[in-house]
Amino acid sequence: MLMIFALLIFLSVQQITIIEAHGGDYALNDDLPEKFYVTHEAWFNISVRENKISSSTIKSHRIVIGLFGEICPMTVTNFITITKGLRRGQSKYTYKGTPIHRIVRDFVIQTGDFTNGDGSGGKSIYGDKFIDENFILSHRSPGWVSMANYGKDTNGSQWFITLVPARWLDGHHVVFGRVISGMDFVYELGEMDTFKGTSIPKKYIVIDDCGLNDMSKYELTYEQLGSYDDLVTMS
């Protein structure tokens, strides 16, 4: 009886933890910066096709990601270098031609595996993997851009965009950017069908092209960063 009672208490606590993790209120990190400066903007032209060999585009759109290079300089440098494209010997590092290989409805869309295209590969400019730089920024709303990994200090080139607040990821994945334009399309991608029992999209969704905008550093407020929509209007 005592063991059953203890188990019930444990399950109750677990349920409270989950509810709180999915809630909108939380204590601020002591290391939270007073100002959030976007140091770079990366753009991605993404198209949806029937399959990998199809040349016909069903739909396409551009998303723009604001990057916090002062908060996560190492992670952002890795990201922008691959976005621009880098060749080392026979190896080419680029997000151009990389598919969105994973969609989990009401959670994330994931891409960045430029070596295998299925989530099993990818690598960083620092070597195969690199460390978790910090966990200053939070997955506190949709649109945050964060490094995918398979454990502590295993960052490569894969990244994901949150579709919902996902604070249970805090402390496990390094957040380094925020979608500032194209969130409607991100939500649309997040609703696309996947093969039964998997997170693999039925359609072929691919980054046709990518690059960096010519821009000057600017500030986003804490309130703006909690938005569920676009943060800026792109001309």
> In this predicted model, what pLDDT tens digit does every residue of 172-221 receive, in sequence order?
999 999 999 999 999 999 999 999 999 999 999 999 999 999 999 999 99
Q: How confident is the model at residue 20 (pLDDT cuts 50, 70, 90)?
A: very low
Interval 63-70 mean pLDDT: 98
Would residue 208 count as lying in a domain? yes
109 burial class (0-12, 13-18, 19+ CB within 10 angstroms)? buried
Label residues 208-221 b or e (16+ Cβ within 10 Å = b): eebbeeeeeeeebe
CA angle 151, 21, 191 (to 5 degrees): 80
Percent of the chain with pLDDT over 70: 86
Domain count, the chain: 1
51 within some domain? yes
- Is the predicted pLDDT of residue 153 greater than 70, yes or no? yes
Residue 128 lies in a domain: yes
- Is 19 within a domain? no
Reply yes or no on whether the pLDDT at 70 is more than 60.
Answer: yes
Domain assignment of residue 82, yes or no: yes
Q: Is 130 a domain residue?
A: yes
The pTM (predicted TM-score) of the whole model is 0.86
What's the domain range around 140?
A: 37-225
199 lies in some domain: yes
Whether residue 113 is predicted with pLDDT greater than 70 in this model: the reply is: yes
Whether the pLDDT of residue 235 is over 80: the answer is no
Catalytic residues: 102, 107, 110, 149, 160, 169, 173
d(CA 58, CA 123): 30
CATH of the domain at 151: 2.40.100.10
Q: Is residue 10 part of a domain?
A: no
> Radius of gyration (Cα) for the chain, nearest Å?
19
State the amino acid at position 55 in one-letter form: S
